[in-house]
Amino acid sequence: MDEFLQRESIVLAPFEAHHLDGAVALSRAAGWAHRREDWEMIWSLSEGRVALAGDRVVGTAFMTPFGDTCAAINMIIVDESQRGQGLGRKLTTAVLELAGDRECRLRATSDGLPLYEKLGFVTTHKITRHQGVTGRVDAPANVEWIGSAALPAIKALDSAAFGADRDALHDVLANEGTFAAIRDGDGIVAFAATRLFGKGEVVGPVVAANAGQARDLLAFILSGKEGRVVRVDIPEDSGLSSPLEEWGLRNEGGVVAMVRRAGARPHTPAVQTFSLASQAVG
């Protein structure tokens, strides 16, 4: 154990089930909306590290693998009493080691940006969070709810847009939420997922060929959520901010998408991600 951890009596350990309540308390103190169920979902897909001061959780970081080529680095949080002492760097470095040679993606706040740049991450684009009480939205006729039989098509579309295998994520989303889709003949050409999250519900991922399809998917799902708190995280340049604000989901700022060891994309995908499943997993 290095000198820093010995001096501060802080140890890093694998994240386990008995750390969940401490992690929830930590995130609530930081103003995060995550419920215990939201932590459990990410943990079920990830390997994590926890910083402990005695039995108290004072920091966390997770690595969510997407096959052998890509990973999301997420849930990096440090107790206010421990900030400014290098603990965030140690937690992030620990989960980067878990990622190995994978391309690593994360969403950074302005506070975390300098650290991630020092660790080799570069900015790719901005993500905007829209959240609020949903107003009246008219449902388009070209979208329908779909069941788990459509999962292979959903996984293929998501893999094309994201650039990596997120099959395990979609298995979890199928258990915890519902999917809507646009068909062209018998085939699914665009989809969106929705589930409970934080203060209400979240819509994402939304994968489509263009902003028009993405808007229709969002409108269809939001049409059934009038009066409910809904969150949607979108790339800043998606063209969806205006309709989301019209539907009651105000712009609440955002984060910066970053990547480390970016892998080459062989071609421009026919579909893209217009809304994230969450800031944690993209």
Q: How far apart are CA 134 and CA 150, in angstroms?
A: 28
Confidence (pLDDT) at 189: 98
Confidence (pLDDT) at 3: 42
Query: 103-108 and 122-133 as β-strands: parallel, antiparallel, unpaired?
Result: unpaired
Structure pTM? Answer: 0.94
Over the chain (282 residues), what is each successive 10-residue block's mean pLDDT?
Answer: 55 98 96 96 98 96 97 97 94 98 96 95 98 98 96 97 97 97 95 97 98 98 97 97 98 97 80 97 97
The candidate with the shortest Cα–Cα distance to 17, out of 57, 53, 64, 54, is 57
CATH architecture of 129-275: 3-Layer(aba) Sandwich (3.40)
Confidence (pLDDT) at 6: 43
E-only strand ranges, the chain: 10-14, 47-53, 56-66, 70-78, 103-108, 122-133, 144-146, 177-184, 187-197, 200-208, 229-235, 250-260, 272-275
Confidence (pLDDT) at 269: 87
Q: How far apart are CA 219 and CA 42, in angstroms?
A: 27
First to last CA, the chain: 33
**Domain boundary assignment for the chain:** 3-101, 129-275
Asked if the domains at 3-101 and 129-275 fall in one CATH topology, the answer is yes
Spelled out in words, what is the top-level CATH class assigned to the domain 3-101?
A: alpha beta
